[in-house]
Amino acid sequence: MTPAPFRAPVPIVDCHGHLGVHPDFPAYKTEPEEMLEVMDALNIERLAITSTLACYSDAPRGNAEVAACLARHGDRFLGYVTVNPHPRGEAVRELERWADWHRPPLIKMHPDLHQAPVEAAGYRPVWEYADANGGIVLVHTWDSDGNCGPLRLLPIARAYPGARIILGHSGVTWRGYEQAMVVARQAPNTYLDLSGSQAHRGILERCVAEVGAERILFGSDMPYLEAAAPLGRVLAAQLPEAAKTLILRGNFCRLLGEAAA
């Protein structure tokens, strides 16, 4: 019962992961130790995680679960502080509570599940915090969604140039990707994330041509989605190896303030 040889040729630093399960279908092998087995097999050196519980229901409790995971496996996981815009004052309290996780701070917004547009009043102090602290903000995006369609991030990116905004899933659909590329072309502080359930043929090559390999990040969405799938897309893409290395590792290292080597 062994996998066939399939492994990234460079150690991946993965910008999009989770901790936890989800309501709408069974979850498999979601314990951190089980995730580490997969990460080792695929050569994922580190994975930045957000609490799925926090994305759905309870940000303080979910963020505490991430803290516990970081305490056990801090060499393999990075933690996003997930913010809910609705409870008054909670988002900034959570950012301050977990400020020691990483500098610059890693922040996660899920406007779809929290049912609030990215420009909602409850998110404003989060954007201000990210702007002031060089925060890396991973935002779930989906096509033309009224809360988190990629195009909604363009005025945000312009208003908060100190924030580095990762367009989670790059809008997912082909049209969503097109919208994400519009944003990335016009706002230099935005980045495209490859995680997602739709493996559009040729979209990665198109993204590189439109916005440059330096603006594209490998994301798996593990343990929600299969990490091997986006890895296969990168490995099979008609791109120079240097571009693939940037996507798999170099770009997110640069955002984190690290050398890629």
Partner 1 sequence: MSFTDWRATLAALELFDANVRVGASGPHGALTLGADALEQELASFAITGALAAHWAGLEYDAAHGNGVLAELRRDWLTPVFAATPETLAQLERLRPRAAQLAFGALRHNFSSARWCCGELCEYLQSRRVVTVISRDDLDWEGLARLLDDFPGLPVVFVNAGYRGDRYLWPLLRRHSHLYFDTSGYLAHRQLEAFVERMGAEQAVFGSRLPLFTPAAALATLLSARMSDAQRRAVAGGNLRRLLAEVQA
Site string for partner 1, 32-71 (x = CB under 8 A): --x---x--xx-----------------------------
From residue 101, alpha-carbon distances to 31, 49, 89, 115, 148 in Å are 20, 12, 20, 26, 26
The answer to whether the CB of 136 falls within 8 A of the CB of 109 is no
From residue 3, alpha-carbon distances to 9, 37, 97, 141 in Å are 16, 12, 41, 32
Stretch binding partner 1 (CB under 8 A), from 76-84, 105-113, 156-164, 216-224? 216-224
Q: Does 216 bind partner 1 (CB under 8 A)?
A: no
Looking at 67, 229, 253, 260, which residue binds partner 1 (CB under 8 A)? 229
- Closest approach, Cβ 198 to partner 1, in A, equals 7
Looking at 24, 88, 89, 121, which residue binds partner 1 (CB under 8 A)? 24
Q: Does 155 bind partner 1 (CB under 8 A)?
A: no
5 versus 89: smaller Cβ distance to partner 1: 5
From residue 60, alpha-carbon distances to 90, 188, 211 in Å are 8, 32, 36
From residue 36, alpha-carbon distances to 6, 74, 113 in Å are 16, 12, 27
3 versus 155: smaller Cβ distance to partner 1: 3
Q: Annotate 26-50 with b (16+ C-beta within 10 A) or e (fewer).
A: eeeebebeebeebbeebbbbbbbbb
Pairing of strands 136-140, 164-168: parallel
Rg for the chain, CA atoms, rounded: 17
Q: Does 13 bind partner 1 (CB under 8 A)?
A: no
14 versus 94: smaller Cβ distance to partner 1: 14
Stretch binding partner 1 (CB under 8 A), from 28-36, 61-69, 116-124, 139-147? 28-36
Any bridge partners for residue 193, and if so which?
A: 217
Q: Does 5 bind partner 1 (CB under 8 A)?
A: yes
For partner 1, the binding residues (CB under 8 A) are 1-9, 24-30, 34, 38, 41-42, 197-202, 221-233, 235-237, 241, 244
